[in-house]
Amino acid sequence: MSPHYCPHYFGPGTEAEVLDYWPMRNNWLALLLLSSSVSAQKAPLHLHFTADSNSFYAAGRWIPSDPKQKGSSPSETEIDCYRQSRICVEATAESYSGHPHVSLAYLEVVRWDENGIVATSPSAICMTEAVLISFPDRSISATHSMKKLDNDKKQACTTFGAGEPYTELFVIKNSEGWNADPYGESIGDK
């Protein structure tokens, strides 16, 4: 057989090699089309919510449970819990009037089972915080309740905005709610 040149084939080849190339080319085209259609479909989002028997991690932001209330500023919070030490650490980065602010809160784990975690922070002066992490629902909520205080302390707490109980919901990073408004950036627009 005489050598032939196929411009899509890298170099000269025999007639049989050139003819063998065309069915292989069709297979490559089919594979390319299939892979592009698969990649065009929505890939599942990787939620920042991970739990195992000894540790827990979530990233996202807190929002008021009442849709009439707005969050105070753009923020992101990371929650890390450790079963053996029975502690959760909540680190929050926020922007107040264009200035960064970072805070840490330590919560004591009072229950940890296959359904989730309950952690509390009784150390605040005015309020206690109870955080409920649900593994099956992949949800987190926090309830802030007033402590029993004398009238002077209660008045001081009210002055600093800690006079009423409230509940917050955690928007998990990469969830639909997060992707609609990452970091709560639209807060200043409303």
Question: 175 φ, ψ to 5°?
Answer: -80, 170
Could you tell me the residue range of the domain that residue 103 belongs to?
A: 49-189
pTM of the full predicted structure?
A: 0.72
Residues 14 and 64 in one domain: no
Tens digits of pLDDT across the chain (190 residues): 444 444 444 445 555 554 454 454 444 444 444 444 444 455 567 899 999 999 999 999 999 998 888 777 789 999 999 999 999 999 999 988 888 999 999 999 999 999 999 999 977 888 999 999 999 999 999 999 988 888 888 888 888 878 889 999 999 999 999 999 887 766 544 4
- Residues in a beta bridge with 115: none
Q: Quote the number of domains for the chain.
A: 2
- Domain check: are 30 and 66 in the same one? no
What is residue 15's DSSP assignment? H
Spell out the residues 6+ positions from residue 35 whose beta carbon is closer than 8 angstroms to its own: none
Are residues 55 and 35 part of one domain?
Answer: no
- Verify that 181 and 157 share a domain, yes or no: yes
Q: Same domain, yes or no, for 12 and 95? A: no
Angle at 169 between CA 45 and CA 65, to 5 degrees: 130
Are residues 142 and 95 both part of a single domain? yes
Report angle CA 96, 102, 105 to the nearest 5 degrees: 125
Please indicate, yes or no, whether residues 138 and 59 belong to a single structural domain of this protein.
yes
CA 132, chain centre distance (Å): 16
Same domain for 176 and 109: yes
CA–CA separation, 27 and 21 (whole Å): 10
- The one-letter amino acid at 152: D
3-state DSSP assignment of residue 123: coil
Residue 60, domain CATH: 2.40.128
